[in-house]
Amino acid sequence: MNTEKGSISIHTENIFPVIKKFLYSDNEIFLRELVSNAVDASQKIKRLASLGQYQGEVGDLMVDVKFDEEAKTITISDKGIGMTAEEVKKYINQIAFSGATEFMEKFKEANDANEIIGRFGLGFYSAFMVADSVEIQTLSYQEGSEPAKWVCDGSTSYEISEGVRTERGTDIILHINEESVEFLNKSRLQEILDKYCRFLPVPIRFGTKTSSEPDGEDEEGKPKYKSVEVDNIVNNTHPAWTKSPSELKDEDYLAFYRELYPYSMDEPLFWIHLNVDYPFNLTGILYFPKIKNELEIQRNKIKLYSRQVFITDEVKDIVPEFLMLLHGVIDSPDIPLNVSRSFLQADGNVKKINNYITKKVADKLQEIFKSDRKGFEEKWNDIGLFIKYGMLSDEKFAEKASDFCLVKNATDEYFTIKEYYEKVKDIQVDKDGNIVYLYTHDRLQQDSFIAAAKQKGYDVLLLDGPLDTHFVGYLEQKGGEKIQLKRVDADVIDKLIAKDEKQELSLTEDESKQALGIFEKAITRPDMKVEVDALHADEAPVSVTIDEFMRRMKDMAKTGGGMGFYGNLPDNYKVTVNGNHPLIKRILEAPEGEGEQLAKQAFDLALLSRGLLTGADLTAFVKRSVALI
């Protein structure tokens, strides 16, 4: 073969400096690009053989990645289809650079490296991000082909001459530049291969590793092991998501989960195997992790692949926001390998994939609920947060989830939203026809309020999760007609569900004013507003409550619900003195000073029942209680 020198036919001389400079922050993707190309070449020879267009032995198709620290080279070798000299000129010099002129005009608009490479077919040329020069040694599979060598020093000039390769395939040899010597390191290259090439469909060898194998028994009959050097294969060529669900057992799914997340302490609750080929191609496995009652939104747990090549773990444009709680893998060849955020946001397939995944998740949950409700209830503490998050953020999911979303009451009974409506709609109705759902966010702290509600025959929901501040509003809007939710400590029970019958106050007007004065004198806190009311005689003598609307606004402000103004307002409590309780008569009849002391004691007891009595006030209460004993 005659040596040929030439120039890549583009209208500018400075394409490579632009690539190097602009893509510098993403330079590790050069290895992904070149290994992916090697895998493609390997798969092509296999395909040609299956079609009868290649009669030779396919043989071992392993891709090799090597580095030489002294020579400052990284070599990616494959046994794929190879190229002739003419094909090198066509694919390397012409096609790869067909968009070069446009690239130079447009590169300033690009947001990141992936966008540039993806738009302009510059995958191979990502090598120049880390190399001063790149050499290709290749031999085509075609009979009678001669080996070819291509060399380029990062300018638009190249040289093609006779190569040295004796077997079908291609070597890409990178002569690493001074700024990129970090890549001449075994652990750094292993890290990149683990990240991008872990599940490629052709074996990738990166040197060797030390392994233990059985070596007979020792004198005591115990097994012995010896250390041996074996090929370091970096990838699993047949990951679980590429197989049919019928081929897999539960232990296979769990083993793959551990492969994906080796440091996870918990096994997943269940999983969904995605497999669709119309109107788009998509495979994958999504796992439901144990979330517990904490907002552990661990993003970047779902990994996006294209034909088993890792693309990104920032999948929020493909996966709905609430499904970011899931773990697992999505693989779609309809998403290009080099993909940008702007592409994901604009692509029609991405929206279809998003909707499909939402539907599959809802269908899976519904299937579990219908087939094993008891098991579903047992998992509720782990999956309830996820389902509520989905209902609050995705209307389509909410429509389906309303059939299997559960609410739990203070005695740990579970109901669907419709079942709960039926349970209380005839009992917990106020004088205006509103159906009132009572709820607690802390059943220990609010036990006295829950007990008062139960005494009336009412039920109390337990809404103690991090999203329940928002879920309260969802239940009011979507749970049924004329529904109101009120926390049990928002007022005395007769006010929370006000009936037509009015309780008569046993105190005269003067006695009521006198009782109000005593309590206002005993209670010196400006955040406490005192009123005397007519309640049942067997209800608490003093109750401390906080207005439902104000408290809800403040809670939403704490959780970022856009109510920042309310978050800055001080807490204001209402102190309700039960004018019909015998203790109030006793306070009115007590000698001056003693009545105020009793009023203070009754008020502190009310604070204590709410967990609001602390510090010096608690110390004074204990001393006073001892003195009264």
Pinpoint the alpha helices (H) of 372-487: 373-393, 395-401, 417-424, 447-455, 468-478
pLDDT in tens, 124-170: 878 888 999 999 999 999 999 999 999 998 777 889 999 999 999 99
The DSSP 8-state label assigned to residue 159 in this structure reads: E
- Whether 612 has a pLDDT exceeding 80, the answer reads yes
Contact 327, 394 (CB under 8 A): no
What local confidence, expressed as pLDDT, does residue 61 receive?
Answer: 95
CB count within 10 Å of CB 290 equals 15
Q: Is the pLDDT at 516 greater than 60, yes or no?
A: yes
Report the C-alpha dihedral over residues 228, 234, 237, 238, rounded to 10 degrees. Answer: 80
Residue 16 pLDDT class (50, 70, 90 cuts): low
Residue 120 — pLDDT band, cuts 50, 70, 90?
very low
From 319-323, 416-420, 540-544, the region with the lowest mean pLDDT: 319-323
pLDDT of residue 96: 52
Q: Give me the pLDDT at residue 8, please.
A: 61
Q: What is the pLDDT of residues 422-446, one digit of tens each?
A: 999 999 999 999 999 999 999 988 8
Task: Count Cβ atoms within 10 A of the Cβ of residue 504 and give its class: 0-12 exposed, 13-18 middle, 19 or more buried.
Answer: exposed
Q: What is the pLDDT of residue 108?
A: 53
Please state whether the predicted TM-score (pTM) of the whole model is above 0.85.
Answer: no
Task: Note the pLDDT of residue 27.
Answer: 83
Average pLDDT over residues 23-44: 84
Q: Do 307 and 44 touch, CB atoms closer than 8 A?
A: no
Query: 541 near 580, Cβ under 8 Å?
Result: no
Residue 405's pLDDT is 96
Mean pLDDT of the 491-497 span: 89
Q: What's the rounded mean pLDDT across residues 318-342?
A: 76
Q: Which helix (H) or strand (E) holds 368?
A: helix 348-371
Question: Is 90 exceeded by the pLDDT of residue 72?
Answer: yes
pLDDT band of residue 568 (cuts 50, 70, 90) is low
**Residue 372 pLDDT:** 94
pLDDT at 381 over 60: yes
* pLDDT for residue 147: 97
Q: Which of 312-316, 377-381, 582-586 has the lowest mean pLDDT?
A: 312-316
Between the two ends of the chain, the Cα-to-Cα distance in Å is 111
Tokens of 31: 């290895």
Higher per-residue pLDDT: 27 or 440: 440
CA separation for the pair 242, 229 (Å, rounded): 30
For the stretch 216-258, pLDDT in tens is 888 888 888 888 999 999 999 999 999 999 999 999 999 999 9
Whole-number pLDDT of residue 344:
59
State yes or no: pLDDT of 296 exceeds 70: no
pLDDT of 17 higher than 70: no
Question: What is the predicted pLDDT for the residue at 24?
Answer: 42
Tokens representing residue 464 in the block: 């103690």
Task: Kindly give the pairing relationship between strand 573-578 and strand 528-533.
Answer: parallel
The mean pLDDT of the chain is 85
Q: Residue 116 pLDDT more than 50?
A: no
Q: What is the pLDDT of residue 117?
A: 47
